Structure 1
């Protein structure tokens, strides 16, 4: 009788082990099939989400700027230029006989509060609040780069920050060559603010196109540098 009980006990143990192994196998399959793809997707969204959203905002702004009269305005998108301080990525530059319009686009959701005097602004989304780097301060750096490369004075440049139409903002500016607008108002912001007369539009635009860095490795390196510098504040 003792031997029978031992054998039966071993059978029960083997059955329990097989049941546990089968359950673990099911759990592994479920993890690989469902959980792992979700984790991978979440990682991709975290890393690339801001860039994808940013590119969408740049596209809408570009479409609005394309409505400008081509005989008087030349649009240059996504320039990467190098000056004595390093690399600068500029979303849009509109070169005209009336001035050079430098546009920084931000495709944010929520409400933005800022002042052109300060380097940090605030973005509110519901009860959540976070600091962002001032787009006007960012654009100031772009204009300094263009001044150096083109040998032109401040007076020909106009700084425009363009927020997505859904973005609410309360921003105080202090200079007559700084504007903060929605995408729908971007074309008017350019047309309504001539800054000079007689600028050689084609010569300036051709110069910038010749200086534009198209090497993908250099561009990706610049994006990584920005992410490291501002750590989610762009």
Structure 2
């Protein structure tokens, strides 16, 4: 964020440093611009240069100080008959093309640089803003990409007559917080609760560890054991649906970017392996009536999807785990 403010400072100060001409000079310069436009046209380099000089240096013209003396008496109002003095008191004429060009070229070098580099400053500012926003939203974007990968695979390879998929389910907790489930697959063989991990690098961990490790280029990053994370999901769902916990099956899916370096339990792996795991349950644990009741209950209990629900869930996780939870 500090880079954004620094960029603003760099943009504002050159803009403030632009030298401004006096009112009389700006009037003459404007007349010269009009004359060039009439005689030479808008495509003339001389017109373009003079117009640019007017736009830069005549935004806030300097007001000339006026003499406060007021002439009194008829003898002071009489015209001077001396031709030499009359000539010096004539109204100023238009500046010549050469004098305008010299005056434009004699402007403050800092002002010229500010005018030239202003588009670059603007691009840099908006680029930094976009980078800051992207960095802030990167975990959310990665999570969505991983969930979308699993969502498509479940829909493609699971028979819809046997399995019903519910994606992105946020459930209320007894302590006033929320828990978020990536995918729920309801079937007569049980309810499969799926946690998706879109991670890269090497993954180390076992079922009993509280923290697993992600290794990227010799840098290690601990993260919550996804089996423990998903256990909370299955317990919450069983409690809300008032069903035995053994009818719920935990499944953790890693995307192909991750390389699992330790032997994982049967319910942890890549999408194709977990599809095989889900289909390995062939004994009916629920009848069709129970299945429909579960679907209706889940749809009635889950919170509405949207930015407000996601924001409150992230806030709860940060407070619960002091910002170190895997979202």
* TM-score above 0.5: yes
Asked whether the 8 Å contact 1:171–1:180 carries over to 2, the reply is no
Q: TM-score, normalised by structure 2?
A: 0.61
CA–CA separation in structure 1 for the residues paired with 2:253 and 2:115: 53
CA distances 1:99-122 after superposition (whole Å, capped 9, x unpaired): 111000011111111122222111
**Separation in 2 of the partners of 1:137 and 1:40?**
37
Give the number of the structure with larger relative contact order, counting CA–CA contacts within 8 Å between residues 6 or more apart.
Answer: 1
Partner SS state of residue 267, structure 2: strand
The structure that has the greater radius of gyration is: 2
Is 2:291 the partner of 1:187? Answer: no
Q: Deviation at 1:233?
A: 4.1
The alpha-carbon deviation at position 164 of structure 1 amounts to 0.4
The total of aligned residue pairs comes to: 217
The yes-or-no answer on 1:88 pairing with 2:150 is no
Structure 1 or 2: larger strand share? 1
Residue matched to 1:6: none
CA distance in 2, matches of 1:93, 1:124: 29
Q: Please report how far the alpha carbon of residue 201 of structure 1 lies from its aligned counterpart in structure 2 after TM superposition.
A: 1.3
* Cα pair 2:188 2:291 within 8 Å, conserved: yes
Distance (whole Å) between structure 2 residues aligned to residue 111 and residue 105 of structure 1 = 16
User: Which residue among 148, 161, 181 is the counterpart of 1:59?
Assistant: 148
User: For residues 195 and 181 of structure 1, what CA distance do their matches in structure 2 show?
Assistant: 23
Give the aligned partner of residue 135 of structure 2. Answer: 46
SS at match of 2:178: strand
Unaligned runs of 5+ in 1: 1-14
8 Å contact kept, 1:181–1:189: no
Compare 91-100 and 63-72 and name the one that shifted more: 63-72
Unpaired runs of 5+ residues, structure 2, are: 1-104
Counterpart in 2 of 1:203? 293
Closer, same or farther in 2 for the Cα pair 1:233/1:147, shift >3 Å?
closer
Secondary structure of the 1:115 match is coil
Larger displacement relative to structure 2 (185-194 or 102-111): 185-194
Return the alpha-carbon distance in structure 1 between the equivalents of residues 171 and 283 of structure 2: 23
In structure 2, do the counterparts of structure 1 residues 173 and 196 end up closer, same or farther at CA, with 3 Å as the change threshold?
farther
1:194 Cα deviation from its structure 2 partner: 4.6
For residues 224 and 26 of structure 1, the distance between their equivalents in structure 2, rounded to whole angstroms, comes to: 45
Within the candidate set 215, 220, 229, 1:124 is matched to 215
- Provide the TM-score with structure 1 as the length reference: 0.83
Cα contact 2:247–2:285 (8 A) shared by 1: no
1:227: Cα distance to partner?
A: 4.9
Instruction: Give the whole-Å Cα distance in 1 for the aligned partners of 2:302 and 2:280.
Output: 28
| Residue range with higher mean Cα deviation, 16-25 or 202-211 | 16-25
Cα root mean square deviation, aligned? 2.4
Using the TM superposition, name which of 222-231 and 135-144 deviates more: 222-231
Tell me the equivalent position of 2:116: 26
